[in-house]
Amino acid sequence: MRKEKQVRLAEKRSVFEALVAEHEAALLRYVARILHDADLAQDVVQNALVKLFRRWRDVVKPGVNIGNWLYRVAHNEAVDCIRKRQRRQLLHFKQGVERQTLEHREHNPLFRENHAREKVQAALEALDMRERQVVLLKIYEEKSYREISDITGLSSGNVGYILHHAIKKMAARLSDAEKQAKDIEYHEKQSET
């Protein structure tokens, strides 16, 4: 009886380790994109995997896509993490810290080089959490509407609707940023002449 239990535990462990090996890279990438922090992403993914082990019987059964389940749990953990971070930032005089980072960015030569990337990042950040999740899953993780629907709990039609609006918002924001950049360039040239 005891031996049987040990064998079952060993099997579970080996399956779990195989699942970790299969999903950890994608989950780390996805969570790091949400949090912009590789260390925090490690914590979040670890928590998601621990949850998988704890809820083994509910998750590892036919009809449940473990990868999608892990994406869902990791996303919720990441959102919790953002909320905690926001609360902490409020406590640590958020404005002061932000001003410092902005000043640091403007003096940083790499910032100008990566300006296009920064614009896309800013447009992505301007989306609400649900929109950002759907965009990340579709464009970055290349998931299908059905998979996104499974991860988010939304219907496929709703996923399409949210994506459409998110891309429209991003396009508008990016074109605004482009116009602003052109204006600044124009004014700079005029002041030089």
Q: What phi, psi does 38 have (nearest 5°)? A: -70, -35
Q: Which of 84, 112, 161, 181 binds another protein (CB under 8 A)?
A: 161
Nearer to another protein, 90 or 175 (CB): 175
Site string for another protein, 91-130 (x = CB under 8 A): -------------------------xx--xx--x------
Helix and strand counts by DSSP (H, E) for the chain? 10, 0
Measured CA to CA, the distance from residue 77 to residue 146 in angstroms comes to 22
Residue 18 within binding range of another protein, rule CB under 8 A:
no
Beta carbon nearer to another protein, 79 or 156? 156
Q: Of residues 134-153, which lie at the interface with another protein (CB under 8 A)? A: 135, 138-140, 144-145
Q: If binding is defined by CB under 8 A, does position 50 make contact with another protein?
A: yes
DSSP of 71-128, one letter per residue? HHHHHHHHHHHHHHHHHHHHHTTHHHHHHHHHHHHHH-HHHHHTHHHHHHHHHHHTS-
Contact call for residues 62 and 37 (beta carbons, < 8 A): no
Q: Indicate which single residue of 19, 34, 40, 49 sits in contact with another protein (rule: CB under 8 A).
A: 49
**Which tokens in the block code for residue 112?**
């100008």
Centre a 10 Å sphere on the Cβ of residue 76 and count the other Cβ atoms it contains: 14
For the chain, the residue count is 193
Per CB under 8 A, the segment of 27-35, 75-83, 92-100, 184-192 that binds another protein is: 27-35
**82 sits near another protein (criterion: CB under 8 A):** no
Q: Which residues bind another protein (CB under 8 A)?
A: 13, 16, 20, 24-25, 28-29, 32-33, 38, 41-43, 45-46, 49-50, 53-54, 116-117, 120-121, 124, 135, 138-140, 144-145, 160-161, 163-164, 167, 170-171, 174-175
